[in-house]
Structures are given as C-alpha cells and as structure tokens.
Structure 1
Amino acid sequence: MTPYENVTFKERLHEEAAKLKEMSFRDKFWYIWEYYKFPIIGVVIAVFLVGSIGSAMYNNRFDTALSCAVLNSRYDSEALTVDQYFDEGFRAFIGLDENTKIDVDYSMSPSFDESAMNEYSYAELAKLTAMISSKGLDVMIGRPDVIDHYGEMDGFLNLEEALPADLYEQVKDYLYPVTNAETGQESFCGIRIGDTSFGEKTGLILEDPVLTIMSNSPHTDTAIQLIRYIFEQ
C-alpha cells in the first residue's frame, strides 16, 4: 500500500504544500523539478504547440510567399537587418505584392544531443516538427549537423534536379550532400552560403550555414528565387 493510497487529492495537496513550506527556495526548486519535471516538460511542449497552431491558424488567413527558419544563429543587435533583407530586398527582387507575407524565424536553436536536452529543447523540436509536417516551412538554413539530421529522413529537395540550369551552374561548387538513412543514397540537397554576403547583410552569425528547401514545400519556386537572390547580392 502506498502512502497516498487512502488519501484524498485535497489532502495530498495539503501535505505537499506543508512539505514545501518547510523547505528553502533551493530545496523547493529541486523537489518540484525532481518529482514533476515530466509534467512540466509536457505542459511547456503543449503550450508551444498550441501557440504554434494558433499562430498558424491566424497566419493562414493571409497569403504566404515563403517561410524560412534560420537555426542556431546568433545576431548583432545593432547590425540585425533580417527584415530589410527579406521583406524589403527579397520582396523587391521577386516583385512580390506587399500584401503577401514572408515569414522568417531565427529564434530556434535545436540540439540533438540527448545529454544536453531540456524542456526548451524538446519544445523547439516539437515546434519545428509541427512546421515541417504541416507544410509550414519552405527553407531551412542551419549548421551541417542539423541539415544532416533532417537529410537522413529525406526531408529536403534534391537541388541537382530542382535548380534551373543557369542557377545550377552558378552554385554547383557550393552544393552540400546529405545521405538518406533508409536507402543510403546520397544527394545534393543543400547549398553552403557561408561565402555569400548573407550573414553580413542580415546581421545573423552562423556556423558554416547550409541552405535547403523542404521536400514538401508548397513554395518551391520562391525558395529557388531566394537562392538566386542570396548568390547575386
């Protein structure tokens, strides 16, 4: 028989409150995290998912030309010009109507190291997974290890096949290969953009960034235009 078997929920809450009252702040934090970390993580992930779904439902009222996630980036707050780069420069480059949105998210820093995972890491991965599975992401820019992870799951478009001939000739020396974990097949799904002016002109600091187009992107043509824009700046 467990200590709480014959105790009502209300009585159990009183007992828990009495325990916490006698503890120091540090002990309270440790106790709550030790015994309730999984419910806490679940709530955080649920909040992120609900927020993402709500945001997606709201944004779906408007036309979106492109959705881009720049992962694991840092930025110089004084030099940050992401909005100008995408919402002004790229918009003008492709002649996009001002009433059509370009979404750029550079807030996420996903990690796949289980020893370093916490509730925020799980929440970010859940958010990114939701964006991908709902076709809410067109372009992913990230470190090679992040691109390798999603490339293993056949998450990206083969750029050798997708790029127009003239653009392929322009970027072929920068193509980045990924390997499908199931088939073992290697394909060039990424483009290294570290030698372009992307970092300087956006104010984003990235480690050997690779650009990819999601295999389920509904805006492939616009994503290809972004590659052209990046390499022509």
Structure 2
Amino acid sequence: MKERNSTFKELSAKQKLQYIWDYYKIHIIVTVVLICAIFSIIKTIKNSNSADLYVAYVNVAVDESMTDELESQSGLIISSYRDLLITEDPSGENLQYAYASSMKLMSAISAEKLDIIIGDSFAMDNAKGSDYLLDPEEFIKANNPTLLDEFEPLFIRDDAGKPYAIDISGFPPFSEAGYTEPIYLGIIASDTNTESKLSLLSTL
C-alpha cells in the first residue's frame, strides 16, 4: 500500500487524473448521474408548487405543444416530466440516462409530486412491477362511476384480469401525434390530487 501511495505521489497532475478516472470511472459516473437526478427533481418541485397535476412521460416523445394542448383541454395546471427513458437492457450510451430517469420517477413519487404516468407498454409494465400503479377500474368506480362505460373497454389487464393501465391512443393529442405503438396511462397509487386525476380522465 505504501509503495502504491508513493507511486501515486510521483505521478504528474495529468497522470493522477487519468489514474483516478481509470480506477473510479463507474463510481464517478453513478455519483454524477445521481446528483443530476436529485437536482432535477428538486428544481421541478420548486418550479411546480402551484401545479394541479404531475404527469411523467416515459418512453414516449412529446413536445411542448402537446403538453400545452392537454393542459388547455383539461383546464389544469400540469407539471410535466418529459423525455424519461426506462429500458430493459440499456446500451452503454443510454445506461446513465435510464438510471437518471428511474431515480427521477422514484424521487417524484416519494415527494408525492407524481400523479399520472403516460408511456408505452414497457413503461406501464415496469411501473406495475414496481407497485407504482393503482387499479383504474376501482379508482373510477370509487370516484366517478359515470366514466366507467367509456374507459372499461380500454383497460389493460394483467394475467389475472386486473386492470392496471388505460389505452389512450385514441384520444387527442395522442391520436394526432402519429405514434406507431399504443400509448397508455397509469394512475399513481396515492391519495393526492384525486379531483385533478378525474378531471384529466374526463377531458380525455
């Protein structure tokens, strides 16, 4: 150990930096990603204290015009987490981004700053597997049964027949966006912003 420390001290500043990078690269990357995710969620929370509803878009590209349209149609102030990526086997180039997205979702849920997830089938399956979602059928029955007839045919069910998401591909602005895969909506299992969640569903 003494020999190793002595050798390190003899290196030039550039060589020391290269040595640290070579041996601690993974630790540095993970730490930076974690710090960025934490600062991102803190910034979002600070900038959205007056929001009626918090929506995360996972594995689905949306632009500002789409989120503005949804906000305008619903009459809600919506704070959006956009461009989140969740993948089963991320490649090296998007591993850090996927990790940051997962951290952002967990942080938002822990802070009770996430109400709705909109994404592809993998995003919904991942959210369900993480126990983020509630049963949309039970939610609608308990809070506004008049919506049930419209949404029941659109429920996505697990192998046991229990609903966990809603296919919203046919509703604007998603129906007009030209997606090649279905788009789904999942309701976060929390007691926050119930009326706003219902308002969004009513708008759709």
Q: TM-score range by the shorter chain?
A: 0.7 to 0.9
**Conservation of the 8 A alpha-carbon contact between 2:86 and 2:98:** yes
Q: CA RMSD in A?
A: 2.9
**Conservation of the 8 A alpha-carbon contact between 1:142 and 1:206:** no
2:136 aligned residue: 159
Structure 2 Cα separation of the partners of residues 204 and 139 of structure 1: 22
Change (3 A) 1:205 1:217: farther
Structure 2 counterpart of 1:218, from 188, 192, 199: 192
Give the TM-score normalised by the residue count of structure 2.
0.81
User: Post-superposition shift, 1:87?
Assistant: 2.8
**Conservation of the 8 A alpha-carbon contact between 2:59 and 2:123:** no
Letter in structure 1 aligned against 2:181: E
Structure 1 Cα separation of the partners of residues 35 and 170 of structure 2: 39
Give the TM-score normalised by the residue count of structure 1.
0.72
Structure 2 Cα separation of the partners of residues 197 and 5 of structure 1: 63
Change (3 A) 1:18 1:212: closer
User: Post-superposition shift, 1:34?
Assistant: 7.0
1:112 aligned residue: 88
User: Post-superposition shift, 1:162?
Assistant: 1.4
2:117 aligned residue: 140
Percentage of pairs with the same residue: 20
In the alignment of these two chains, the number of paired residues is: 199
Structure 1 Cα separation of the partners of residues 3 and 79 of structure 2: 53
Structure 1 unaligned regions, length at least 5: 21-27, 180-184
**Conservation of the 8 A alpha-carbon contact between 1:72 and 1:206:** no
Structure 2 unaligned regions, length at least 5: none
The answer on 1:42 being equivalent to 2:31 is yes
Structure 2 Cα separation of the partners of residues 113 and 150 of structure 1: 16
Structure 1 Cα separation of the partners of residues 157 and 2 of structure 2: 56
Larger gyration radius, structure 1 or structure 2? 1
Change (3 A) 1:133 1:178: farther
Change (3 A) 1:81 1:33: farther
Structure 2 Cα separation of the partners of residues 186 and 2 of structure 1: 64
1:174 aligned residue: 154
1:59 aligned residue: 47
Residues 15-34 of structure 1: pairs in structure 2 closer than 5 A: 15=12, 17-18=14-15, 32=21
Change (3 A) 1:2 1:37: farther
Structure 2 Cα separation of the partners of residues 83 and 152 of structure 1: 27
Give 3-state SS (helix, strand or coil) of 2:122's partner.
helix
Change (3 A) 1:84 1:46: closer
The answer on 1:193 being equivalent to 2:186 is no
Structure 1 Cα separation of the partners of residues 105 and 178 of structure 2: 19
User: Post-superposition shift, 1:138?
Assistant: 0.3
Letter in structure 1 aligned against 2:85: S
